[in-house]
């Protein structure tokens, strides 16, 4: 089943309507299974780790202007805004931005703004931001849209700035299994959800083409395999948190986090040289 970014926008608009908490909306469904204290503990540990990794990767400074591309309800606002000059969030879902506005007001985040916008055509001049966050968004864009979004994030980020991208990793146990299951489903005429899992190599290639270099990475969901009951997934995540210490294995987590350093100089030089021919 072909699912366009417009379809995903409608899906997120519907998901963000009243009835769920902001955390439920950001995670795509109810955050905790009823009565699951174990699930709560694992999720809280993952949230702490993800937030700490994000802040460490961004290397935030008081003078920084930060773009949260695909900000959703603004889950990162409260962690980032006290450490920087200003945060601007952008999302294609009107309902998500409405929630983000309510969060800004309720949490009195005076240096945060949020607006509806298209990641593939960011409404900002080149070199506007010191840091860019893009968390769990790119899987809702097809390859052409994703490449456009990557190029736009690099365009609006200053040289030597940092972009932190959280993406779904096709070169993971979950990603490989999901590709096979979807291929089988298509053969037998079943509809599939068309979100996009891409390889680490794909991201590395596209980022480098536009002037970005992956300088660090992290991941979780190494043992995740579809379809597993939520209770089993949580046990596997707990096991992963306890035993996975070597950085090598993190390359195979389904939830892959890239820290990208922007260096547009080679890219700009090549483009200028091409113009002369």
**Domain total for the chain?**
1
Residue 65, strand partner residues: 86
pLDDT exceeds 70 at position 84: yes
pLDDT exceeds 90 at position 213: yes
pLDDT of residue 155: 97
pLDDT exceeds 80 at position 261: yes
Region 13-24 average pLDDT: 76
Region 135-140 average pLDDT: 92
pLDDT exceeds 90 at position 34: no
pLDDT of residue 167: 95
pLDDT of residue 42: 58
Name the residue with higher pLDDT: 188 or 60. Answer: 60
CA angle 276, 206, 211 (to 5 degrees): 55
CA dist 46 and 42 (Å) reads: 6
Helix, strand, coil proportions of the chain in percent (round to 5)?
50, 20, 30
**If you write DSSP's letter for every residue of 61-92 in order, what string do you get?**
-TT-EEEEET-TTTTTHHHHGGGSSEEEEEES
pLDDT of residue 37: 47
Q: CA-CA-CA-CA torsion for 83, 86, 92, 96, nearest 10 degrees?
A: 60
Phi and psi angles of residue 168, each rounded to the nearest 5 degrees, phi first? -85, 130
Average pLDDT, the chain: 85
pTM of the model: 0.85
**H helical segments located in the chain:** 5-15, 22-26, 37-58, 77-80, 94-106, 143-156, 173-187, 200-210, 230-243, 265-275
* CATH number of 166's domain: 3.40.50.150
User: How confident is the model over 68-79, as pLDDT tens digits?
Assistant: 999 999 999 999
Q: Under the phi-then-psi rule, with left for phi > 0, alpha for psi from -120 to 50, and beta for the rest, what region is 68?
A: beta
90: confidence class by pLDDT, cuts 50, 70, 90: very high
- Is residue 76 classed as helix, strand or coil in its secondary structure? coil
- Is residue 131 classed as helix, strand or coil in its secondary structure? strand
pLDDT > 70 in the chain, percent: 87
pLDDT of residue 204: 95
pLDDT of residue 226: 75
230: confidence class by pLDDT, cuts 50, 70, 90: confident
User: Residue 9 sits in which domain range?
Assistant: 5-275
Residue 256, strand partner residues: 167, 219
To 10 degrees, what angle do helices 37-58 and 230-243 make? 50
CA dist 135 and 167 (Å) reads: 7
pLDDT of residue 41: 57
């Amino acid at each position: 089943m072909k699912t366009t970014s417009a379809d995903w926008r409608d899906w997120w608009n519907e998901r963000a309507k009243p009835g769920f908490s902001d955390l439920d909306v950001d995670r795509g469904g109810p955050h905790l299974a009823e009565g699951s204290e174990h699930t709560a503990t694992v999720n809280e540990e993952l949230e702490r780790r993800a937030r700490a990794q994000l802040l460490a990767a961004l290397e935030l400074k008081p003078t920084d202007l930060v773009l949260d591309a695909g900000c959703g309800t603004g889950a990162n606002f409260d962690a980032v805004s006290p450490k920087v000059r200003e945060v601007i969030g952008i999302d294609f879902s009107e309902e998500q931005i409405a929630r983000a506005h309510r969060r800004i007001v309720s949490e009195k985040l005076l240096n945060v703004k949020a607006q509806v916008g298209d990641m593939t055509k960011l409404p900002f001049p080149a070199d506007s931001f010191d840091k860019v966050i893009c968390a769990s968004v790119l899987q809702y864009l097809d390859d052409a849209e994703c490449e456009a979004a990557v190029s736009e994030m690099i365009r609006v980020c200053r040289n030597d700035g940092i972009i932190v991208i959280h993406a779904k990793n096709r070169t993971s146990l979950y990603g490989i299994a999901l590709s096979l299951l979807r291929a089988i489903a298509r053969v037998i005429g079943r509809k599939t959800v068309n979100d996009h899992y891409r390889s680490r190599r794909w991201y590395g290639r596209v980022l480098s083409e536009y002037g970005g270099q992956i300088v660090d990475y992290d991941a979780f969901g190494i043992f995740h395999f579809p379809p597993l009951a939520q209770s089993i997934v949580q046990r596997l995540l707990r096991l992963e948190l306890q035993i996975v210490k070597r950085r090598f294995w993190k390359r195979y987590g389904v939830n892959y986090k890239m820290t990208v350093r922007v260096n547009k100089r080679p890219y700009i030089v090549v483009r200028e040289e091409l113009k002369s021919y």
